[in-house]
Amino acid sequence: MTCILHLDSSPRGDRSLSRGLTSEFNRTWQQTYPEDKIIYRDLGHNPVPFVDESWIAAAFSQAGQLTPELKSAIEISDRLIDEFLAAKICVFGIPMYNYGVPANFKAYIDQIVRVGRTFAVTSSGYEGLVKEPKKILVITTRGGSYKDSPLDFQEPYLRAVFELIGIADLTFIHAENLAMGDEARQKSLAEARTAIQQFIEIC
């Protein structure tokens, strides 16, 4: 049985195009692999906390030095990291906001990219601590076209941050031109659905 972690970051409900695409992934995956387990987290409607001073103090303390207050400060981080590490495939639905990821997804990244848990600082530099093979599928929705654009701060950032913790197997499906009229929107969504199907077929 494969464990899949599915995150949505759009604050929209039924009107969200990124949610529609990730839901399509779920339906198709469960039809293909009904025995697999999908864990769902809705960052858009239930965001995780931002990193604060107590979190930083706890993250940089030895386990034996953690007070009850510091343990509480990183309890959510521990839970999110355990959940992330348990998944063999992660599916992230991420709309583009101001050329980047939504604040709620950045908050999630800050919770799981943690020194001593998912990466280490060594004499030779950073070392990713995520050793088990893991695939990440990122489905983005964008109003315009950002292929090879210097204004795309989504894909380069996500590749860099996940490579930091040891994950290089990332697939991006960009549903673009969604604000450029109905014909362009429908064409892009159809291409995204085809790419989702192809991803599932090769897993």
Q: How many residues does the chain have?
A: 203
What strands lie across the sheet with 37-42, from one edge to the other? 37-42, 3-8, 89-95, 135-141, 170-175
Whole-model pTM? Answer: 0.95
Side chain identity at residue 23, one-letter code? S
Contact 67, 32 (CB under 8 A): no
Percent of the chain with pLDDT over 90: 92
Query: What is the rounded distance in angstroms from the CA atom of residue 6 to the CA atom of residue 91?
Result: 5
Residue 65 has pLDDT above 90, yes or no: no
Q: What is the pLDDT of residues 97-112, one digit of tens each?
A: 999 999 999 999 999 9
Mean pLDDT for the chain? 96
- Structural domains of the chain, count: 1
Q: Give residue 64's pLDDT.
A: 82
Confidence of residue 203 (pLDDT cuts 50, 70, 90): confident
- Residue 97 CA: distances (Å) to CA of 61, 74, 79, 154, 190: 34, 28, 27, 9, 22
Q: What is the pLDDT of residues 9-61, one digit of tens each?
A: 999 998 999 999 999 999 999 999 999 999 999 999 999 999 999 999 999 99
Mean pLDDT of 125-131: 95
Q: Give residue 63's pLDDT.
A: 82
Q: Give residue 7's pLDDT.
A: 98
CATH number of 149's domain: 3.40.50.360
Q: What is the pLDDT of residues 153-196, one digit of tens each?
A: 999 999 999 999 999 999 999 999 999 999 999 999 999 999 99
Confidence of residue 80 (pLDDT cuts 50, 70, 90): very high
- Using only C-alpha atoms, what is the Rg of the chain? 18
DSSP 174: E
Range of the domain at 70: 3-202
Dump strand ranges (E) for 58-183. 89-95, 119-122, 125-128, 135-141, 170-175
- Residue 23 CA: distances (Å) to CA of 2, 38, 150, 164, 196: 18, 11, 30, 28, 11
